[in-house]
Amino acid sequence: MKQRLSDLYRDILACQLCRAELPLGPRPVLQVSSRARLLIAGQAPGIRVHQSGIPFDDPSGDRLREWLGVDRATFYNPELIALLPMAFCYPGRGKSGDLPPPPRCAIHWRQALLEQMPNIGLTLCLGQYAQGWHLDRREKNLTETVRQWRNYGEHLMPLPHPSPRNNGWLKNNPWFAEELVPALQQRVARLLSADVLKDATPKSSAQNQCS
């Protein structure tokens, strides 16, 4: 018997699976709803998100909202957008940035969560870890996977991570802003249409949410 989403969410907030590996301890950060239409599959919370408990509450989030063409109220409405990183807790720092998301998190929680969100019409896969989970096939590297975004149909779109660390990548790949971002904004606008927005109930808080 499937867990209700509210029970699953409660269990995730109490999760201790990776406690021994997390330098700052567990603090799961996600936003989910059974009514969500858009799923953003990210990597793992950074230090700022760990501190605030608000998904994408950092420069990466500012850039991501620009790519999507949505404001903060829309972005943080779980009735519209689910924010589901590959790992829910800050993994710590490595030599060249944050460590990869611990795979145990996705293995234990992800499929059960996805089964509770039947209305997702578009999944955005930010970075190689989300692409590895959600895409049946990938190109030889992230750049080529994103460049071939048209080959993944209307319901999946691979993207680079919006982190400032990717400023050089964005500069070296102008086609992303010229071709992919306008198409992304069109898909998001269609998905979060006036009829959908009318039926959705905005939330007053941007913190961890489940509905």
Place of tokens 């949505």: 70
The pairing of strands 209-210 and 156-159 is: unpaired
Query: How many Å apart are CA 199 and CA 125, to the nearest integer?
Result: 26
pLDDT in tens, 132-188: 999 999 999 999 999 999 999 999 999 999 999 999 999 999 999 999 999 999 999
Q: Tell me the average pLDDT across 105-128.
A: 97
Distance of CA 120 to the CA centre of its chain: 13
Q: How many domains does the chain have?
A: 1
pLDDT at position 88 is 97
Give the tens place of pLDDT for each residue, 18-50: 999 999 999 999 999 999 999 999 999 999 999
Dihedral (C-alpha) 11, 13, 14, 15: value to the nearest 10 degrees?
Answer: 80
Question: What six digits make up the tokens of 26?
Answer: 């567990």
pLDDT tens digits, 42-78: 999 999 999 999 999 999 999 999 999 999 999 999 9
Mean pLDDT in residue range 181-203: 77
The CATH number of the domain where 110 resides is what? 3.40.470.10
| Structural domain that includes position 181 | 5-210
